[in-house]
Amino acid sequence: MAILTFTSSRTTGRRYAAINCEQHAIEHFAKAIATPGGATPFDDGIDPSTASSWTVREIDLHKAKEFVLNLWRNECLLLQSYLGDLQKIQYPSLKEQLVAYVHNLRLIQQRAPLQQVRAFISSINDNHMGEMKFDASFSELEVRSRIVLLLQFIRRVMRFYKGACLTCDGMETEYVGIVAPNASERDIASDKTELWFCKTCVSYYRVARYENVLATLRQRWGRCGEHSKIMWVLATALGYTCRIVLDYTDHVWVEILIGGKWIHADPSEAVLDELLMYERGWGKKFTFLFGITESTVVDVTDRYTETKEDVIVRRQMSEADLQHVLTEVNTELQQ
């Protein structure tokens, strides 16, 4: 069960709702909706006199699937977690989530033709793209050194977004939640948008999470998802064989095939071949870790953990059941 907080516009009867959101986020949402000409996409306001006009009840998200999705499609829904609250309604099973992720990767690749990607790299790297290209005649050490250059290039070009206001660049900001992308954001392939409040500007602003590598490169900032998809696309354009690693405890990085072995590369940290940095250094408690290409999904958890038995307990899924799911996923992807 989830906590649904909802209200209706007094003028139009249009419904607005928040799922699993804290009180301060709901109050922000109400004010953002009612802000004329503000950064939100809503076309009518509610009485923002705070949450006394909002009704709270428990809701079974799966039974109320169409109601919730209609709220989202009509840009009337606030979420604290897109993955936890909405994506799992759309793709309730692990199989569906993984198949959808692969289809999304295919779309990302289609939106980034290799020729355009190479031209962009060259234009912002002083025409030194050749220093990062894969060369099969090189030794493994030389290939690794080129990948390090690529990691450093992404780190230099892409700022890791930590919540700074997009107007004043100030850090006195507050995360409100996730809202649906508006029309202009959807045009650039955003599937979700973060709503933020700047205490300095005293205004709301939107941070679209684009699934378009060229748009993200022009924007010059992102988080691990954007950084890793950029690395995946750029590495592919430069001749490497690359795959995304999806960590279900909220991180993404890549692996690159060197000398017949998959090598860890994290563009958010500009780190190469540090497999245990997450568990030892970050204290991560892994559940699922998948290596994903445009056509395959494999379990790569063993490479990144020293406590596999604990991982299996947290998964609440046996190894046999997981392998069965992956077989079904890969069969469907080959069709």
Q: Which residues are catalytic?
A: 224, 251, 266
What is 139-186 written as a DSSP string?
Answer: -HHHHHHHHHHHHHHHHHH-EEP-S--TTT--S-EEEEEEE---HHHH
User: Using CA atoms, how far apart are residues 201 and 118, in angstroms rounded to an integer?
Assistant: 38
What is 109-131 written as a DSSP string?
Answer: HHTS-HHHHHHHHHHHTTT-GGG
Is residue 284 within 8 A of residue 92, CB to CB? The reply is: no
User: Using CA atoms, how far apart are residues 212 and 38, in angstroms rounded to an integer?
Assistant: 25
Helix H or strand E encompassing 324: helix 319-334
Among the listed residues 190, 192, 197, 188, the one whose alpha carbon sits nearest the alpha carbon of residue 164: 197
Burial group, residue 127, by CB count within 10 angstroms (0-12, 13-18, 19+): exposed
Residue for token pair 């540090």: 274
- Counting other chains too, the contacts that 234-237 makes at CB distance below 8 Å and 24 or more residues apart are 234/117, 234/121, 234/150, 234/154, 235/147, 235/150, 236/109, 236/114, 237/114, 237/117, 237/118, 237/121
User: Using CA atoms, how far apart are residues 121 and 154, in angstroms rounded to an integer?
Assistant: 10
Is residue 144 within 8 A of residue 263, CB to CB? The reply is: yes
Residue for token pair 């004010």: 31
CA distances for 47 relative to 6, 57, 305, angstroms: 13, 20, 51
User: Using CA atoms, how far apart are residues 112 and 105, in angstroms rounded to an integer?
Assistant: 11
Neighbours of 174 (CB within 10 A): 14
